[in-house]
Amino acid sequence: MKQRTTLGNSTVEINRLGLGCMGMSEFYGAFDEKESIDTLHKALDLGVDFFDTADMYGSGDNERLLGKAFAGRWDDIVLATKFAVMRGPGGEFEGLNGKPKYITEACEKSLANLGVEAIDLYYMHRKDPEVEIEESVGAMANLVGQGKVKYIGLCEVDPETLRRAHAVHPVTALQTEYSLWSREPEQELFGVCAELGITFVAYSPLGRGFLTGAIKSRADLEKGDWRLDNPRFTDQAIEENLRFVEVVERIAQGKRASKAQVALAWLLSRNDEIVAIPGTRKVPRLEENIGAFKVELSPADLAVMEENIPAETVGERY
């Protein structure tokens, strides 16, 4: 399995398994700064060089965490961060903003949080429905021209919006949820990304942890874990969606691999350019995820998975 790829229209090469850092500051229960920094450092040691954060994770705390962890080591990594989701002083969500003035201000804050002079990959986290995509991407292009951003990306946009954006300025990466239980991008987005030379970055490649088999009931989630409010993690949805885990486990047993490794190997097998950013705060889980590169899924394995995976996932993504 190909382990590295070129990031979109750039000349930058990255590991196809990056690290999503969101849970190191918020959303998935308790977290520990030292443990997170140890995991970030270990990721670098193991060859992971693509890290994903956003200004809204922990209301800036996640960017500051990465700034602390990677001080003096920025030349070794490719860092992606995002703007558009506004948070209030108490962490409350205040909507989306894709206006040029806001984009400029958000970029300056992220640069300060991270302690860098330029952001490698700057995503618009979600499109502001009140602002035309051309206006937002034009502002992002200006940041590239100023040397504050190297490459731009978008998250969760439809094919038409992606084409319109790319016509204003080359889009290097598209980040969208994709996994065995979230396969919508296969319908059109994969084709558009291939046509335009855009790297597809899959977030939540393990189904927010569900495909690892670690969540068999709501009791397995800590207090404060946002999945407790997610439609796919109701009691009924968990019971129904365990069918996905059963299929993955069947293959994993035959490979002497973990369910997480099989789920990631399946995703990486879809094409040689896709990049996945599973999130973890712990070194053992990091090492387990990287082990996915050692899992070889045969055509027969893939056929079994296709034939047995449920046609629909119970519960909306959000």
Catalytic residues: 57
Residues 6+ apart with CB under 8 A from 315: 230, 231, 232, 233, 234, 237, 241
Q: Are 295 and 257 in contact (CB under 8 A)?
A: yes
Which residues make beta-bridge pairs with 174? 154, 200
Q: Is 171 in a helix, a strand, or coil?
A: strand
For residue 247, give Cα distances in angstroms to 212, 241, 269, 293, 302: 11, 11, 17, 19, 11
Task: State the Cα torsion 192-206-47-265 to the nearest 10°.
Answer: -70
Tokens for 125?
Answer: 């986290």
Angle of CA points 166, 170, 176, to nearest 5°: 65
One-letter amino acid for residue 14 of the chain: I
Distance CA 17, CA 13 (A): 12
